[in-house]
A and B are shown apart, each in its own frame.
Chain A
Amino acid sequence: MLEGLGRNRFLRRGLLLGPALFVIGFFMILPLFLMAYVSILERGLAGGVQWGQHTLEAYVRFLFERDLMDNLVVNIDYLRIFGRSFALAFGTMIVALAIGLPTAFYMALQPARWRNLLIFLVTIPFWTNLLVRNYAWILLLRDSGLVNSGLIWLGLTDEPVRLLYTPFAVGVGLTYSFLPFMILPIYASLEKLDLRLVEAAYDLGANKWKALTRIVLPLALPGIAAGSILVFIPALGAYVTPELLGGSRQLMIGNLIQGQFGAARNWPFGAALAFVLLAIVLCSMMLYLLRFRRAPGQG
């Protein structure tokens, strides 16, 4: 049947692309436009929106609030939440990189038969629901949890250290959740690295440190860049982890947006927040890619 279709290239192309176009169109592009439209509508008083009544109020609200005289006054509360989210996501990325890079190195240097097992081990956490894994961290980090009991037992502290519902807890949860996304791309780029290049570097007088910094790391850069993006972006929009481990005081963007569609019943503002986030992510991505665009194509 496919051979018959071969005669008509356009038809065949259309049929092959169709499902993908449908999925992207209906489940991504359309909702995106819907959200964009919602963000420039008047809010409905009991949630929802007032169709046909356009306003940019939601975007204004991101940076300003109106005082009693209806004057615009700068309000950086929301910016602060964005800032905190960025700091947490960035910190998560750095810690994941610090843990993931050596791990990926270790994996790539193992004999071939061990490597697949190690990849398998890295992906095991994905078998469990994110929610469950975050609850597990609550059990570990709470005042009577394993970590605190351990510290007390070791005599390092007399009373439990406050771990849960702190930025630390959120950072730990995010790092734990997204670490495999850092390890796997770096491993992939290291695994295909030609070890003869390292030999060539030794041969030309490079010691181990020089071979690492001048040859291995630059060649692993595409993997490091990919891993960093894959950790940073989902960490930035994380919802479940800050909700469970951060409590009410460690709000992140994800929780803020959720709150606007939920309790605050301000759909346009929620949609506007989502778009501001999207814009910032796109811009930072573009900067990042520009920085790493010169990463080598490996043969």
Chain B
Amino acid sequence: MESVSEAAIEARRLTKVFDGPGGEVRALDNVDLIIRKNEFFTLLGPSGCGKTTLLRLVAGFEQPSGGELLMDGEAIAERPPHRRPVNTVFQSYALFPHMTVAENVGFGLEMMGRPREEIGQRVERMLALVKLEGMGPRRPNQLSGGQQQRVALARALANQPKVLLLDEPLSALDFKLRKEMQIELKRLQSETGITFVFVTHDQEEALTMSDRIAVMSDGNVLQIGSPTEIYEHPTSRFVADFIGETNLLTGRLSERMASSLRFELDSGGLLEGQEDGGNETGARVTLAVRPERAEISREGSGLAARIEQIVYFGTDTHYHLRLDEQTPFVVRHQNRSGATSRFSQGEEVRVTISPDAIRVLQD
């Protein structure tokens, strides 16, 4: 048996430079990355961050400008796409319009020279796996977007690749279908045991589906970790801001006490925290606080704030506040009792944040 932590894909100082009309574009800049076997790994970042470029390098559609790319410990940069045990689900699905669904799904097997009978059986099994039994004789353009998506999945899985690459496969689906497919993908991944590398710009999608996430920006991997790590312990301002909503506060690490630290905020007021993020006493710091980790009350200690706006979301209510009349701060309150807000617009309130909810960012 192979150990679970063994690397399916490893990138070492992987670099890709494109010649754009305005000079060179570094799409990937010395990226180091290990994708483990059998994991659901997500590359998350805004458009242009390099996540799709990384995927295309793994698939073999692009050649790296520098660094190494290993699959099962073997360098694969020189291998053409059709000689890699990797298959891709394209954002546009890229189904062959002149072939039936069954011909699409069986295409890879046909290319591998498998006997016709085996192809037929495997195609049936693949269509059953993605719940498209009986759709084999149809043409892709006779299917709905969600069904086309499933065909693309079945086609990519039919070759039993070691790694399945998914390039924003859900972005063209509507909300409800997307939710369904997220669960579906998770199921397929655990059933097949294939390593999934999933590219998305949707942080919620990344959080709900992944075993591990790599957050990318400007051709760099900023942080790699489990969804909880990424969400609860963002190390940089970008990650904190990109994943979920975050309040950013600037200030100074002013004092170390026996069991806690004290931060002096630029907006005035003091906060008690637990981690120093590796900073010396007196250093300038950026703090991140999730909106759901803060509370507001009419009196007590806490930071002074004024309610600018109250937005009702059904399950919860967002209070948009200003600390010292300028720094924005959002508090999310879950509506457990009744629909009416306890507070009103323009009211002066106090914000309390528990010490373990305060993250010190590293940039």
What is A's interface to B at a CB cutoff of 8 Å?
194, 196-197, 199-207, 210, 214-215, 218-219, 221, 295-299
Instruction: State how many angstroms separate the Cβ of B61 from the closest Cβ of chain A.
Output: 6
- Of all chain B residues, the one with the shortest Cβ separation from A200 is B94
Out of A197, A205, A207, A297, name the residue touching B96 (CB < 8 Å): A197
The 7 closest A-B pairs by CB, nearest first: A204-B108, A205-B111, A200-B94, A296-B98, A202-B81, A296-B97, A196-B94
Residues of A within 8 A of B139 (CB): 296
Asked if A205 contacts B82 (CB within 8 A), the reply is yes
Residues of B within 8 A of A298 (CB): 97
- Of all chain A residues, the one with the shortest Cβ separation from B56 is A199
Asked if A210 contacts B111 (CB within 8 A), the reply is yes
Bound complex: CA of A299 vs CA of B159, how far in Å? 26
Say yes or no: is B141 at the interface (Cβ < 8 Å to chain A). Answer: yes
Asked if B82 contacts A207 (CB within 8 A), the reply is yes
Instruction: State how many angstroms separate the Cβ of B331 from the closest Cβ of chain A.
Output: 45
Asked if A299 contacts B141 (CB within 8 A), the reply is yes
Say yes or no: is B257 at the interface (Cβ < 8 Å to chain A). Answer: no
- Of all chain B residues, the one with the shortest Cβ separation from A295 is B98
Within 8 A of A (CB), among B101-156: 107-108, 111-112, 139, 141, 155-156
Task: Among B86, B98, B112, find the residue whose CB has the most chain A CB atoms closer than 10 A.
Answer: B98
Asked if A203 contacts B88 (CB within 8 A), the reply is yes
- The verdict on A199 contacting B81 (CB below 8 Å), with A297-B97, A298-B97 known, is yes
Say yes or no: is B90 at the interface (Cβ < 8 Å to chain A). Answer: yes
Instruction: State how many angstroms separate the Cβ of A181 from the closest Cβ of chain B.
Output: 24
Bound complex: CA of A201 vs CA of B97, how far in Å? 12
Instruction: State how many angstroms separate the Cβ of B140 from the closest Cβ of chain A.
Output: 9
- Of all chain A residues, the one with the shortest Cβ separation from B140 is A299
Asked if B111 contacts A299 (CB within 8 A), the reply is no
Instruction: State how many angstroms separate the Cβ of B37 from the closest Cβ of chain A.
Output: 21
Say yes or no: is B38 at the interface (Cβ < 8 Å to chain A). Answer: no
Out of B107, B112, B141, B159, name the residue touching A201 (CB < 8 Å): B107
Say yes or no: is B317 at the interface (Cβ < 8 Å to chain A). Answer: no
Within 8 A of A (CB), among B63-106: 80-82, 86-88, 90, 92, 94-98
Bound complex: CA of A218 vs CA of B100, how far in Å? 13
Out of A199, A205, A299, name the residue touching B108 (CB < 8 Å): A205
Residues of B within 8 A of A218 (CB): 98
Asked if A204 contacts B107 (CB within 8 A), the reply is yes
Asked if B112 contacts A205 (CB within 8 A), the reply is yes
Residues of A within 8 A of B141 (CB): 297, 299
Out of A200, A206, A219, A299, name the residue touching B90 (CB < 8 Å): A200
Asked if A206 contacts B88 (CB within 8 A), the reply is no
Residues of A within 8 A of B107 (CB): 201, 204, 206, 214
Residues of A within 8 A of B155 (CB): 204
Asked if A196 contacts B90 (CB within 8 A), the reply is yes
Bound complex: CA of A199 vs CA of B82, how far in Å? 10
- The verdict on A199 contacting B94 (CB below 8 Å), with A204-B87, A204-B111, A204-B155 known, is yes
Say yes or no: is B59 at the interface (Cβ < 8 Å to chain A). Answer: yes
Task: Among A202, A206, A295, find the residue whose CB has the most chain B CB atoms closer than 10 A.
Answer: A202
Bound complex: CA of A219 vs CA of B107, how far in Å? 16
Instruction: State how many angstroms separate the Cβ of A271 from the closest Cβ of chain B.
Output: 43
Bound complex: CA of A88 vs CA of B262, how far in Å? 94
Residues of B within 8 A of A296 (CB): 97-98, 139
- Of all chain B residues, the one with the shortest Cβ separation from A205 is B111
Instruction: State how many angstroms separate the Cβ of A48 from the closest Cβ of chain B.
Output: 54
Bound complex: CA of A296 vs CA of B140, how far in Å? 11
Known interface pairs A200-B94, A204-B87; 10 further A-B residue pairs with C-beta atoms within 8 A, sorted by A's residue number: A194-B92, A194-B94, A196-B90, A200-B88, A203-B88, A204-B107, A204-B155, A204-B159, A297-B141, A299-B141
Instruction: State how many angstroms separate the Cβ of B80 from the closest Cβ of chain A.
Output: 7
- Of all chain A residues, the one with the shortest Cβ separation from B84 is A203
- Of all chain A residues, the one with the shortest Cβ separation from B97 is A296
Bound complex: CA of A194 vs CA of B96, how far in Å? 10
Out of A199, A215, A297, A299, name the residue touching B61 (CB < 8 Å): A199
Within 8 A of A (CB), among B155-187: 155-156, 159
Residues of A within 8 A of B61 (CB): 199, 202-203
Can you list 10 A-B pairs, Cβ within 8 angstroms, ordered by A?
Answer: A200-B94, A200-B96, A202-B81, A204-B87, A204-B107, A204-B159, A206-B82, A206-B107, A295-B98, A297-B97
Residues of A within 8 A of B88 (CB): 199-200, 203
- Of all chain A residues, the one with the shortest Cβ separation from B91 is A196
Bound complex: CA of A296 vs CA of B59, how far in Å? 28
Bound complex: CA of A207 vs CA of B139, how far in Å? 24
Out of B81, B92, B156, B159, name the residue touching A196 (CB < 8 Å): B92
Asked if A202 contacts B82 (CB within 8 A), the reply is yes
Task: Among A197, A200, A207, find the residue whose CB has the most chain B CB atoms closer than 10 A.
Answer: A200
- Of all chain B residues, the one with the shortest Cβ separation from A294 is B98
Residues of A within 8 A of B95 (CB): 200
Instruction: State how many angstroms separate the Cβ of B229 from the closest Cβ of chain A.
Output: 32
Residues of B within 8 A of A219 (CB): 97-98
Instruction: State how many angstroms separate the Cβ of B361 from the closest Cβ of chain A.
Output: 39
Residues of B within 8 A of A215 (CB): 96
